[in-house]
Every structure is written in structure tokens, then in C-alpha cells.
Amino acid sequence: MTGFALGVDQEEWCGQLRALAVQRLRPLAEKGEPGRVNRPLLAALGELGLLDRVFASGALELCLLRESLAYGCTEAETALALQGLGAYPVLRAGSEEQRERWLPQVRAGRAVAAFALSEPGAGSDAAALALAATADAAAAGGGWRLSGEKCWISNAPEADFYTVFARTGEGPGAKGVSAFLVPADRPGLSGAPLDMLSPHPIGSLAFDGVPVGPRDLLGEPGRGFRVAMDTLNLFRPSVGAFAVGMARAALDATLAYTAGRTAFGGTLSDLQAVAHRVAEMATRTEAARLLVYAAAGAYDRGAGDVPRRSAMAKLLATETAQYVVDHAVQLHGAVALQRGHLLEHLYREVRAPRIYEGASEVQRTIIAKELYGAVAAR
């Protein structure tokens, strides 16, 4: 990638993905039940090798994958991304036994993964989580009992395993958090669905003395917060790519509609107010896309400013997508509010990314902290 321009092979691959999303994946998505895991869709993502690409690629390819799928089928994009989010900590920090047990099943779309970080009192402030992991003196070889609650967990309560972050107490704040791989059938673990504005399941999890041992640890005790942040630093730019894919779909729909819709003796595109608004939508979308791929490139290079770049990319892209989809609806008028219309769908889908994986306000806090930290270091 040179100057953030895609090569011919990359452009062709993205085009193939967009077509695949529309022709192969969207029909499966439309057969799914809102608020439930769409296992046939996951199986198709596995059969097509797309889930494998999530774990075999860098940030740049992940962003291309998510943007292209989002353009043609947001449900497929989200299903793929949630598999990556839930299982990436296993890839990066899991033992050989954990990776061999779960990752082939995740890649094939047979096992559903979930990332269980947020709690009722610790959403954006992840370091404040309270799920307690207390030492289990009765456990052979040592272990813990998990007690507490997780909330707003994507794929809960239907996931087959959860990457769970709990307070083991090695230190204050983030220093006392450990990560665990917890199978869904573990005694004491239960869940309930939440009725959310979302096509995929989101639920709460209750931990009533759930037993976990050293073999369930992801990485070292007290180092779980780093596992969570490493995962989010990769996936935040790709959330931006998801948003860019939605913005581009809304923009293209608007271009086609305003170029062909007659009004006031011409087409809508003849009206300066309309043309200028479309120009603004296109400019913001392109700017967001460039920032997303700059962040992805920085991640793949191992640059030191990845947290700032990731936060900037996620912030700008999700806010831009909201702007573009909203104005696309406005330019289409009432037709865009009909159930089943592309823009009605995108209008529902585009709101949540400004909140999850760190709300826009959290991204601004991260950016400012990184900027002032650099000043202090000088």
C-alpha cells in the first residue's frame, strides 16, 4: 500500500468480497432471526475462508475485509468481527492447548466466541471492572471462583465460550485484572438476552462461583487488561472500517437516487443544496477511510502511536458514518424509512458503533491523554 492507495489486487479482492456479501451472505442474513446467532451465516463465513483471514491477516487486511463485507451485508461483517474479537485474545495470549481446542472451531464457524469485558458499572471505564476472581483453596493446583456480572456482551448468552476479564487483585486498577477462557457450560455460569437495537444477540452473564483454573488463564495473572487493550487496539480501526463500509454504501445509494430522481424540473443532483451535501458526505467518508488505513498501517508496522491512531480512526469513522447515513436518509425522503430499505437498515446499524469498543467520548480521552503524554515526555 503506497500513499493509502490500494493496489489492483486489493481492489479486485474488495470487489469480490462486496459481490460475495450481496450474493452469498445477504440471503443467509435475511433468513436469520434478529437477536440470535445466525449459525448458517457463520458456517458460510467459515467455508469461504473469511474467518480464517481474520486470524491470519494484519490490521490492514482486516480493515479491507470488514469494510467490504459491511458494504454488502452488515450482518455478515458483524458476525465475522465478533468471532475475531472473542477469539483474538486466545490467539495472542492463549496456551497451545487452548488454541488447538478452540481456534479451529472458531475459524470454521462452528464455535461462537464472545468478548466479555463490560459490566453494569464498568462499560467505558474498563479498568473499573468488578467481576471478582477469588482464590479457590479447594481447587487442586490452585484456581479461582468468578463471582459477579457482565453486561452488554455481544453473542451472549449464545456463545460457546467467553473471553472473560476479572479482578484477581495483584495490584490496583488495571494491574489486578486477569483474562480467562470460560466455556459456556462451566458450572455457575448463566446468561440472559437483552432486548437491544441490534441484529445480533447481546446479553448479560451471571457468574455464581464459576470455577476457573490456571489452564483457563489467558496469559499471566494480573496481565489481563493488556490482553484486552491489545485486542481493542487492533479492532478499533477495523470498527472504523465497518463504519466506512456503511458510509460508502449509503453514499453510493444517494448518488444513484439523486442522479435519477426528478424534482423541480430536473434531477435532485441539479440542485446545488443537494450536490453540495453529497460532496460533503463523500469528502468526510474519504477522510475517514484514509485515517482508518493509516491506523491499520501503523498497527502492522508496530508503531508506538497505535493507541492514538486507533482511537482517532474509530472516532472519526463512526461519527462520519452517522453523519453520512443520516443525510442519505434525508435526501431520499420517506422512501428511506420503509422497513427493508437499505438506508432504514443502515440507520439502525450505524448508531451502536459510536458506543461499543469505547464510546466516542472515551476515544477523545485516549487521544488527549496520548497527546499530552507526548508533551510531558519531551
Residues annotated as catalytic are 357
Question: In whole angstroms, what is the distance from residue 256 CA to residue 161 CA?
Answer: 44
User: Do 160 and 212 touch, CB atoms closer than 8 A?
Assistant: no
Q: Which long-range contacts (CB under 8 A, 24 or more apart) does 16-21 make?
A: 17/64, 17/65, 17/68, 17/69, 17/72, 18/68, 18/69, 18/71, 18/72, 19/72, 20/48, 20/72, 21/68, 21/69, 21/71, 21/72, 21/73, 21/76, 21/77
The single-letter code of the amino acid at 341 is H
Helix (H) or strand (E) holding 225: helix 224-260
250 φ, ψ to 5°?
A: -65, -40
User: Do 89 and 179 touch, CB atoms closer than 8 A?
Assistant: yes
Who contacts 222 (Cβ-Cβ below 8 Å, separation ≥6)? 168, 170, 171, 175, 176, 177, 178
Question: In whole angstroms, what is the distance from residue 157 CA to residue 107 CA?
Answer: 20
**Alpha carbon 35 to chain centroid, angstroms:** 16
User: Do 343 and 336 touch, CB atoms closer than 8 A?
Assistant: yes
Q: Which residue has the cell 472516532?
A: 315
